[in-house]
Structure 1
Amino acid sequence: MNSAASILNNPFLNKGTAFTTAERQALGLVGTLPSHVQTLDEQATQAYAQYQSKANNLEKRLFLMTIFNENRTLFFKLMADHVVEFMPIVYDPTVADAIEEYSHLFTDPQNAAFISVDDPDSIEATLQNAADGRDIRLVVVTDAEGILGMGDWGVNGVDIAVGKLMVYTAAAGIDPAQVLPVSIDAGTNNQKLLDDPLYLGNHHRRMAGDDYLAIIDKFVTAERKLFPESLLHWEDFGRGNAQVILDKYQDQFLTFNDDIQGTGMVVLAGILGALNISHEAITDQKFVTFGAGTAGMGIANQILDELMRAGLSETEARSHFYAVDRQGLLFTDTPDLTAAQRPFTRDRSEFANADELTSLAAVVQTIHPTVLIGTSTQPGTFTEAIVKDMAAHTPRPIIFPLSNPTKLAEATAADLIKWTDGQALIATGIPAGDVDYQGTTYHIGQGNNALMYPGLGFGLIAATAKVLNGETLSAACHALGGLVDASEPGAAVLPPVGQLTTFSQKLAEIVAQSVLDQGLNKEPISDAKQAIAEMKWTPVYPENN
């Protein structure tokens, strides 16, 4: 039998003051808690009042993390009751502040696995210890080289994996006892961390190249051995490694890179939603991606796949893309191209003014794009002049300033509406309020990966998918893009985060059905909806502990 202390200190078992009198007798908890037995609703009311008393968002997040560390059911009950309010607190953008301060604010490992590249022989033991006998169905792993728009944050970045898994549970209903956050501590090139004596990660420069990829391979081997039924989700890896890793493993087992595929899927869904409003064809669009890192190229690949599904050849489809990075338009002879960038370069011979295409303004002026996507982390770069130039050449410009947190956004929704006289179709990377302009209220969709990955992942796991392929990705994008009412004046291009749990359920069912239709399920499943319903976890206390 578990001791009183072990039960009260186990967040998966602990009910706190909600343990009944009978449970307290049976579990040896008599006298270890105040006498009054609370309901989960009473605990949630009490905790929410405490949450509201906190002075700022970081303090609110720290308070919620304390509850998370003590009682998973209560935490997710609170999330379910306040999902719109809590999402930016437990995840982006407040998680950015938590990551910067992680080593200084550390109180609990949060059931994460901390893998060190300096101790490769302990990788399997690390995963086994962190799982502690739990049936792991979902692993989110990060090496934190490319955190949000913040860059390299070493072991501090484990908070991104923890936060991602919270959203999976809150939005889609995966059992929090079946998930595992993993940090791969490869060192850091962030000098501020290396100089900080309180930094909790390896105090050396990042491991790179073949040695690094060998560690990744060792991790994958151990993860597959221990958790063969799991979905392996890669998060915030650096631009030089993310695509390489995904390409190596995506056909071998069920795996997913949220920065490449998840971001691409949400953006494609937003574009499909925008085209439902403008009644234009995706094959008639010209795409400029500003910021040719992991996210920007992931978006381009997802749209490319959709163009080919719409009937274009690969060569025709690629001709619709213009990738812009710090040095301007990317050409075939641009130095130091990444593996993800090379397929989207242009030939200088295509342009009479090729040597002048060194800025976003010059590219927009020359190309006349219909779709402008920002993942640059360069604030304010979608200027009034650039936006007006774009709007002069297309009736309903699709403009997605996706960089986050807020201080890194390429433009605000309000400015984009004003500069295009209400014609722009917009999704932002951070939550944006409605914009009132000349008598119309414009609802702004958030290009938040949380709209996609929880439902996608849950559907894949419930359907026991062998792999994730383009067919299933496309099905999910069309489902999400079709959830908005395109006939409403000022309609958003994506559904609101407030309906996250509802449409995550629909997405999961569509994804599971796609897996079954293709015969990609490991286990015999006849009904996708039933498989989703049977696996869904809800935050209620079980009758008996």
Structure 2
Amino acid sequence: MPSTDYEQDTSTGFGPLRIKARGRAVMTNPTTNRGTAFTVEQRRELGIVGLVPTRVTNLENQVRRVYEQYQRTTTMLGRYLHLAGVRDRNEVLFYRLLTSNIEEMLPVIYTPTIGEAIERFSHEFSRPRGVFLSIDQPELMVDSFLNFGLNPDEVDLVVVTDSEGILGIGDQGIGGIQIAIGKLSVYTAAAGVHPRRCIPVVLDVGTDNLGLLSSEMYLGERHARVRGEKYDEFLALFVNTVKDLFPNAMLHWEDFGTTNAHRLLTTYREEICTFNDDIQGTAAVVLAAILAGVDVTGLELDDHRVCVFGAGSAGIGIANLIRDTMLRTGASETEEEAYSRFYAIGINGLYVDDQPELMPFQRPYARARADLADWAVADPNHITLADVIRNARPTILIGTSTRGGAFTRAIVEEIASYCARPIIFPLSNPTSRAEATPADLLTWTDGRALVATGSPFWPVDLDGVRYTIAQANNALIFPGLGLGVATSQATRISDGMIAAAAEALAGMVNAYRQGAPLLPTISALRTVSATVAVAVAQQAATEGLARNPLTDPIQQIYERMWQPVYPEIEAI
């Protein structure tokens, strides 16, 4: 149903819904439909008498009913599809259900279940959501966005993917639209970004996934992934179109391949308000956990040595933000001093300046070959993690390698032998690819390790202490960032704004108590997002990037947060 069938001020979380449609048209739009919760008077005014069961129920009873249906569904994909069906029928009900059970349902509507939904997209396709843009039809781009039905001042967020680097499953072609949809669901559930102020987009540039190309069910373009000049021209057209049509929107890049992720962010970050969650969001939440851990160690951040194992887009993004924080708050006076505290490891071992395969964003972390001359290593051409631990003695170990079990007992015990409170983050997803389990890390260090993970893990009981394991989930950062940007109408997203988000998150925990987590829990997501949003908006104003500097930040952020409750209805 076109948006002309209803009106609502989406710039506030409390606007009434003015409905022009009548009859069954009211029931088929997830924005206007509230099923059995329509009052008798509303049913008469909207022409839906007799179209729903007689009894009027409230939102709480509806939540109970769909939650019971959810619980009867036995597979994670089945639960994902059930929730998607609720969203397609009744948007308020979907988000009320989700926010009431956020810790339980986040892994269903987001990672890890979203990966299976993406893989199954062409087989489970039911109702299209979002904008599908084909590199073979660039002339249709403007019309495609206009057909989505939003005006220039009605869009806060555009989440886009080209599906090349989807989670841990790689190139998924047009199915990547699901990651954009899932991301926006989290923006709304966690931070109250109005669901009607968001556009999910997939850039269909082909796929190198032979399984998809050979499937008769596949719904995307049937050719290999386009690269090079044609790809760049298509991306430039996309960015310019978004900038022209939706000048206030934040452009969120999601799950682009390593080759393009850093390059696109670098190319466009000074031109538009743009953010890459895989690089900047991951970095911010990890920095928050590190800052909380550093407080416990009693050392300054500058006093730590950092080893990044699996230094690709995410790993280098984390290193960059830690480096910038050292430069801003620590004793490091030059970038060279800050870089000297990092040891980046890739598939060919420690990054060294004579390795030709290093990408431009990785090269600043390459160690000079001459500086390693006195290291005791088995193979100077492939310096391993064990070599780095033994020779460099890092105090912070970050895993973004997807190599399950890479942080062995020998490596962890070596760190614990010289570091009283080692900070060890096995961040790779899913659980099977985590570099170590929290239980092993705590056992091998006699409970001294400060641990955060990428996947959720159960608490660990050791020597009478229960250790709650912090999950470095990007959902603790990106929703609040988006809300802060939208409310302040920031023109750019600066490194200072990313750091402010991380510091606000770190400030919400007290990790000194033995066993306490280094990050807030997912159950506190709404409070976390609001706190992050205030910090981001204030930093944007400080840097002169806010078109709408907040005069009463807490109240203005609160008023902007959409609530999953049925709004007042006006039949017009």
TM-score category, normalised to shorter length: over 0.9
DSSP-derived class of the 1:427 partner: strand
Tell me the distance in 2 between the aligned counterparts of 1:482 and 1:519: 24
Between the two structures, name the one with larger relative contact order (CA 8 Å, sep ≥ 6). 2
Tell me the distance in 2 between the aligned counterparts of 1:286 and 1:428: 19
Task: Give structure 1 stretches of 5+ with no counterpart.
Answer: none
Name whichever of 314-323 and 6-15 sits farther off: 6-15
1:502 matches 2:518: no
* Aligned partner of 1:331 among 342, 352, 356: 352
Tell me the distance in 2 between the aligned counterparts of 1:347 and 1:94: 42
Tell me what 1:15 maps to: 34
1:70 matches 2:89: yes
DSSP-derived class of the 1:392 partner: helix
Tell me what 1:129 maps to: 147
1:399 matches 2:418: no
Tell me the distance in 2 between the aligned counterparts of 1:536 and 1:89: 23
Amino acid at match of 1:325: G
**TM-superposed deviation, 1:516:** 2.2
Tell me what 2:310 maps to: 291
CA spacing shift, 1:338–1:6, aligned 2, 3 Å: farther
Tell me the distance in 2 between the aligned counterparts of 1:205 and 1:105: 23
**TM-superposed deviation, 1:472:** 1.7
**TM-superposed deviation, 1:358:** 3.5
Tell me the distance in 1 between the aligned counterparts of 2:388 and 2:124: 45
Tell me what 1:319 maps to: 340
Amino acid at match of 2:162: D
Tell me the distance in 1 between the aligned counterparts of 2:434 and 2:148: 37
**TM-superposed deviation, 1:517:** 2.7
Tell me the distance in 1 between the aligned counterparts of 2:222 and 2:385: 38
Tell me what 1:119 maps to: 137
Tell me the distance in 2 between the aligned counterparts of 1:70 and 1:344: 50
**TM-superposed deviation, 1:133:** 4.9
Tell me the distance in 2 between the aligned counterparts of 1:45 and 1:362: 56
Paired residues for 1:93-172 under 5 Å: 93-110=112-129, 112-133=130-151, 135-172=154-191
8 Å contact kept, 1:463–1:528:
no
1:277 matches 2:277: no
8 Å contact kept, 1:290–1:325:
yes
* Aligned partner of 2:495 among 448, 470, 475: 470
DSSP-derived class of the 1:207 partner: coil
TM-score, normalisation: structure 2: 0.92
Tell me what 2:204 maps to: 185
8 Å contact kept, 1:291–1:323:
yes
Task: Give structure 2 stretches of 5+ with no counterpart.
Answer: 1-19
Tell me what 1:360 maps to: 385
1:488 matches 2:507: no
Tell me what 2:9 maps to: none
* Aligned partner of 1:424 among 449, 453, 472: 449
Aligned residues: 544
DSSP-derived class of the 2:159 partner: strand
Tell me what 2:260 maps to: 241
* Aligned partner of 2:271 among 224, 234, 252: 252
8 Å contact kept, 1:243–1:340:
yes
**TM-superposed deviation, 1:277:** 1.6
8 Å contact kept, 2:541–2:549:
no
Tell me the distance in 2 between the aligned counterparts of 1:379 and 1:411: 7
Tell me what 1:344 maps to: 365
8 Å contact kept, 2:538–2:549:
no
Tell me what 1:209 maps to: 228
1:26 matches 2:51: no
Amino acid at match of 1:491: A
CA spacing shift, 1:270–1:524, aligned 2, 3 Å: closer
1:439 matches 2:458: no
8 Å contact kept, 1:291–1:326:
yes
TM-score, normalisation: structure 1: 0.97
**TM-superposed deviation, 1:336:** 2.3
1:516 matches 2:541: yes
Tell me what 2:13 maps to: none
DSSP-derived class of the 1:240 partner: helix
**TM-superposed deviation, 1:531:** 2.1
CA spacing shift, 1:339–1:130, aligned 2, 3 Å: farther
Name whichever of 119-128 and 259-268 sits farther off: 119-128
DSSP-derived class of the 2:513 partner: coil
DSSP-derived class of the 1:205 partner: coil
Tell me the distance in 2 between the aligned counterparts of 1:341 and 1:459: 30
Q: Give CA-to-partner distance per residue, 1:349-368, whole Å, 9 cap, x none.
A: 11124715443222222221
8 Å contact kept, 1:274–1:398:
yes
Paired residues for 1:27-66 under 5 Å: 27-66=46-85
